[in-house]
Amino acid sequence: MKVAVVGATGLVGTKMMQVLAERNFPVTELVPVASERSVGKEVEFKGKKYRVVSMQDGIDAKPAVAIFSAGGNTSLEWAPKFAEAGITVIDNSSAWRMDPSKKLVVPEVNADVLTKEDRIIANPNCSTIQMVVALQPLHKKYKIKRVVVSTYQSVTGTGKKAVDQLYNERKNEQGEMAYKYQIDLNVIPQIDVFLENGYTKEEMKMVKETCKIMGDDSIRVTATTVRIPVVGGHSESVNLEFENDFDLDEVKSLLSSAPGVVVQDDPSQAVYPMPLWAHEKDEVFVGRLRRDETQPNTLNMWIVSDNLRKGAATNAVQIAEYLMGKGLL
């Protein structure tokens, strides 16, 4: 199967190629695509060198699937052109997520919505992906009424420039700034731009995407998203109010048997999810499971996942795997 990775030289594009190789996706030929300034550069995939080509050359190569991680504007311009050429696009930007004509997919939650006619499929926001993987089995059993989430997000979510800023600051060296403020030894309670309602774009993504992926507009979500000086993955403190009461042991059992979820919850041994442990893993790790003692039917939980993998590259590759397995590619 011929596979294009659009944005192949970026942080997520590089991770996509790594994940394709690790998961043994049947790539017969890789078509690495990037912006004009990267055309001609070489990338490595499974020990073989491939030359980066332009967008149009990527279309002309006629891959079966193109996994995009090249930014929203690039996706808006080029994804339809790939789709018109009969290529299935899995897009990692925010460009198509809330388009009512496009599917927003996390395979563990709603892969069954996909059909052969879906030529542009949206990959959700990283912080939303890991949350809904953990929420889905609980929603099916107890019906979620309200979600209060605060995130602690890795600098890798911003990109290489932010990672460089963190390490430069750690070494007390001058360099390009990805953020308005220092990130080392600091916490920045702003991810993306502020909107008129006082929330950031990232916070509203979590609100809207959660309902769309889970297929339930009745779920009320409120979010605070925060950038922290970490590289291993995103962490989330989540408070869930259910319509029906729950048993804590049953919650742990449901999560333990849910696809893509690993429960790390043993307070007596100080076992709980951390970015340090989630780094370079594909699962969503859940712990600190406890009843909210201030109101009925309410659960507190802690969710951690590698945002470059499950939050981006792995989720996109899993969508491709599902399409292939169902004969939709």
The residues annotated with a catalytic role in the active site are 126, 234
Sign of CA dihedral 33, 36, 42, 44: negative
Shortest CA distance to 301 belongs to which of 259, 244, 260, 241?
A: 241
Q: What residue type is 89 in one-letter code?
A: V
Residues 6 or more apart from 89 whose CB is under 8 A from it? 65, 66, 67, 68, 79, 82, 83, 119, 120, 121
CA 123 to centroid of chain Cα atoms: 7
Question: By the 8 A CB rule, do 80 and 120 touch?
Answer: yes
Helix (H) or strand (E) holding 89: strand 88-91
The first and second tokens of residue 125, run together, are 């926001």
Helix (H) or strand (E) holding 298: strand 298-305
